[in-house]
Amino acid sequence: MKKAKITAKKAAEFIGSAELRDKLWDSQLSGFHLVKLKTCGSWRIIYRTSNGRERSYTVGRYPALTADQARRLAHEARGQVFQGEDPMAKRQAVKDAALRKDQETLGAYLDGPYTAYQRRKKTGNDTLAILNRHFGSWRPRPMGAFKRSDVERWQADKESKGLSHPTIQRAYGALQTLLNHAERGETIAVNPLKGVSLERPAMTESDLVESNGGRRYLEESEVTALFAGIEAYQEQKRAQRRSSRAHGKPHLENLDDVPFADHVKPWLLLMYYTGFRPGDIYGLRWEHINLAFSTITKTIEKTAHHQPEPRTFPVCQQAVGILRDWWEQKGKPGTGYVFPSDRTGRRMDKKAMSRPWKNIKQLAIELEAKGEIASVLPENLAMYSLRHNFASQLIMGGADLLTVSKLMAHTDIQTTIEHYGHLRPDHARDYVNAFGEKHTPDTAGELKSYRSSITG
């Protein structure tokens, strides 16, 4: 065992001549020594914990620390041992705390557990992209340290860049979902932004106009315009095909011989007659449809993460007829998407119906200008209004809210009540009038008889 009072000179001589892993022990401080490593040296001290376990504690590296500096730090470590502490355990605790802090950063959680979680979901990659795009500057920060003021500054920044409130709200909702997931997994003790909501900006005049095209039902004249616009779209597609066949492409299918020019008419009418969300129509498969029993049985995509079981929906005969004609036109398939992409054969893109919908509204305007229909579809009418129209017309026709809630696949009947409850026929007056007529005695006749008896 090499042992001497370690000085700067002794340390340099030892490192220069010693073999790898050789040790130079200090004669002044018990357990203090220098270990020869491949490119440098390591200052260490040997000690025993209170339960008798031997530990080798690294004080620092040579030549970054001189002999005197290393000996002083070794003395401090020895003092901790005398006080019943374990220097290595303290250092490990600091490292563990730093690791936990790093794991609690938005970036670490987003790239690790949350990526694995989201990639099991159909739209998971979109959610991850939204979070990275809108909260990239938050990635190095611990999730538990987020504050209301952070959200306020973030919202102001997004608004200054011209983002719409729905876009900002969607991004913030994705962050809230991530924080709730981290809380459930105990990566953070609590979601620090729980109860913190965005400030809704005042509605501009254009916002107010736009809002009129949202959750509303269609007037009878608008329904006429919708069906006329769809038929005009069909004829437009057929005319284009006739032109193509006449100008060098006779191999193309003759669309005059089939019920539908393409997927647009059956797609829109299925939404009109069922009230399904667009995602559920894009994801509809022939395996979900029972034409004989007039039902569709499928898992609702929006709520699949907490209601994965399939639900069965009755379908009216008009929708069944459309599906049967489309099924026959497509060769009576038994499996696969009902409305696959013409280009890939896989599921359509979520924006695939945007252009046809815009075209149909324009065609309705042209028909109205020719005097062929009396009204048009409002320019700001959203395709999603077909779903709202379905629910609204059912309720105005006397359907109870629970039934409509089930047909709309709402997770909570309160959603149905909130958005459509005001459309219920007001039977309250009929009920109270019926009560009055049924439960009021003929007091006038009884009083006349009583007066006669006392006047003799």
Tokens for 303, please give them: 């709520």
Task: Give percent above pLDDT 90 in the chain.
Answer: 63
Q: For 89-144, what is each residue's pLDDT tens digit?
A: 888 777 666 555 545 789 999 999 999 999 988 788 999 999 999 999 999 999 98
Please indicate, yes or no, whether residues 224 and 268 belong to a single structural domain of this protein.
yes
Do 156 and 64 sit in the same domain of this protein? no
Is the pLDDT confidence value at 452 over 80? no
Q: Are residues 175 and 248 in the same domain?
A: no
Q: Let me know whether 96 and 129 are in one domain.
A: no
In-domain check, residue 449: no
CATH number at 278 reads: 1.10.443
CATH number for the domain that contains residue 41:
3.30.160.390
* pLDDT of res. 353: 95
Instruction: Please give the pLDDT value at position 441.
Output: 76
Q: What is the CA radius of gyration of the chain?
A: 38
Q: Last residue of a domain, which of 387, 422, 437?
A: 387
Here the CATH number for the domain that contains residue 132 is 1.10.150.130
* pTM confidence score: 0.58
Are 297 and 354 a contacting pair, CB within 8 Å?
Answer: no
Q: Classify residue 177: in a domain, yes or no.
A: yes
Alpha carbon distance 284, 271 (integer Å): 11
Beta bridge partners of 312: 297
Asked if residue 345 is part of any domain, the answer here is: yes
Residue 122 domain-assigned (yes or no): yes
Q: Is residue 444 part of a domain?
A: no
Q: Quick one: 192 and 85 in the same domain?
A: no
Burial of 231 (0-12, 13-18, 19+ CB in 10 A): middle
- Domain co-membership, 245 together with 303: yes
- What is d(CA 280, CA 315) in angstroms, rounded to the nearest whole number? 14
Note down the domain range covering 44: 2-102
Residue 41's beta-bridge partner residues?
36, 62
Query: Looking at the 3D structure of the chain, how many domains does it have?
Result: 3
Tell which residue, 449, 246, 281, 424, has the closest CA to residue 352: 281
**And the tokens for 382?**
């959203």
80 part of a folded domain: yes
Q: Does the residue 334 lie in any domain? A: yes
The region, left, alpha or beta by phi > 0 then psi within -120 to 50, assigned to residue 290 is: beta
**111 and 27 share one domain:** no
Mean pLDDT of 34-61: 91
Residues 86 and 111 in one domain: no
Q: In terms of domains, do 184 and 262 share one?
A: no
Determine the pLDDT at residue 411. Answer: 85
Work out the angle at residue 367's Cα, subtended by the Cα atoms of residues 361 and 369, and round it to the nearest 5 degrees.
Answer: 105
Q: How far apart are CA 175 and CA 131, in angstroms?
A: 7
Helix (H) or strand (E) holding 56: strand 54-62
Mean pLDDT, all residues of the chain: 88
**pLDDT confidence bin for 456, thresholds 50/70/90:** low
The verdict on 337 and 190 lying in the same domain is: no
For residue range 201-246, list pLDDT tens digits in order: 765 544 444 444 456 789 999 999 999 999 999 999 999 999 999 9
Per-residue pLDDT, averaged over 448-455, amounts to 58
Average pLDDT over residues 170-190: 90
- Read off the pLDDT of each residue in 35-50 and give the average, rounded to a whole number: 92
For residue 205, the model assigns a pLDDT of 44
Per residue in 242-293, pLDDT (tens digit) is 999 999 999 999 999 999 999 999 999 999 999 999 999 999 999 999 999 9
Residues 75 and 9 in one domain: yes
Residues 168 and 300 in one domain: no
From the list 337, 318, 312, 344, the residue with the least C-alpha distance to 265 is 318
Q: Which two tokens stand for residue 221?
A: 């004249």
